[in-house]
Amino acid sequence: MDARDTEFFQKAGGAFAESMASVFSMLTGREFQMTSTPGGLLDPPAIAALHEATAILVKANYQKGLSGPLFFVLPLKEGTMLVDLMLGGEGAPAEDLVGDSKDALAETFNQVMGSANQTLSDLAGETFAIAHVEILAVAPEAAAFAEHLGPGTFQDIPLPASQDTLNTTIHLLFPDLLLQQLKRKLGLVEEPAVPHPVAAPAPTRQAPLASGPMPDAGNLDLLLDIQLPVVVRMGQTDMQMGELLKLTPGSILELNRSADAPVELLVNGKLIAKGEVVVVDGNFAFRITEIDSRAARIRSLG
């Protein structure tokens, strides 16, 4: 294993282990410990051999920054134990994964992907995002795994997970195409050398330089028609998955902001202003009381 491979396992494996431990701990209210270890290349029959019984296959499809699917594989028994903990139980296993349990696990891995992608995006300097998460129960036969995984080999990163009542290993699987994309985005692929063109001799006479700075207003004009998401945020809170599924009409959520605190205005996910909610012509509106400088607002477009 060369230095680039080692760095990939540290960055990618570390991002997913950290995000998974954080999400599992938050949703269950119990402390999870997770690590990542370097793995090898596996084909579908080898992946099927990881589990003696039915397994859960989690498929996440990238739609931004990267393209293609990413997979997680974990035993059905431990997967249902995890869901039971999230729903307020003591970690009882189940024979299948259906209904609310399946939806809860899908939302769990959706949050795992969001957290891990944020870390990887920061490392790459580019935004990564997925379209959706799909949960499948797969029999231990190699043919069943091949049907859902597709052909080729997969880079395996084992993620051992431990908690008082639950110990298992979740396998993170990168298809080769996605693996090479992510390595390139993280600067872990040696790019071929590009020959430098021979510079033309400098002219003996130079044209007079124009006076004054070059205008850049045209560059700014190109940005003015870009549509950006604008969100008015009154507050936020964390909830266990079990509490979320128990919500009904009339339920009250207590937010982490006092009634007299200013409301936040976020543009492109970045805080640029604070103010208060008012009513204009029967509609809610936002009155700005504090706002970032114009330069800071332009930077928020990035």
Task: Report the first-to-last Cα separation within the chain, whole angstroms.
Answer: 36
Give residue-wise pLDDT tens across range 249-296: 878 888 887 878 888 988 877 888 898 888 888 888 888 988 887 767
Would you list the DSSP string of 62-121?
Answer: EEESS-EEEEEEEEHHHHHHHHHHHTTS-----S---HHHHHHHHHHHHHHHHHHHHHHH
**Angstrom distance (rounded) from CA 257 to CA 72:** 37
Output the pLDDT for position 212.
47
Buried b vs exposed e over 133-145: b needs ≥16 C-beta within 10 Å? bebbebeeebebb
Architecture of domain 228-234+256-302: Roll (2.30)
Higher-confidence residue of 91 and 203: namely 91
Architecture of domain 3-185: 3-Layer(aba) Sandwich (3.40)
Give residue-wise pLDDT tens across range 101-160: 999 999 999 999 999 999 999 999 999 999 889 998 888 888 988 999 988 999 999 999
Domain regions of the chain by residue span = 3-185, 228-234+256-302
143, 149, 150, 152 alpha-carbon torsion, rounded to 10°:
-100
Higher-confidence residue of 239 and 38: namely 38
Output the pLDDT for position 238.
81
**Angstrom distance (rounded) from CA 25 to CA 164:** 12
Output the pLDDT for position 8.
93
User: Residue 220 pLDDT more than 60?
Assistant: no
Buried b vs exposed e over 33-68: b needs ≥16 C-beta within 10 Å? ebebeebeebebeebbebbeebbbbbbbebeebbeb
Q: Which SS3 state, helix, strand or coil, does residue 40 take?
A: coil
> Which residues neighbour 209 within 8 Å (Cβ) at sequence distance 6 or greater?
none
Give residue-wise pLDDT tens across range 18-53: 999 999 999 999 999 999 999 999 999 999 999 888
Residue owning tokens 């008012």 = 278
Contact 56, 137 (CB under 8 A): yes
Tell me the CB-side half-sphere exposure of residue 59, using CA atoms within 13 A.
16
**Angstrom distance (rounded) from CA 102 to CA 106:** 6
Residue owning tokens 């699917």 = 69
User: Residue 216 pLDDT more than 90?
Assistant: no
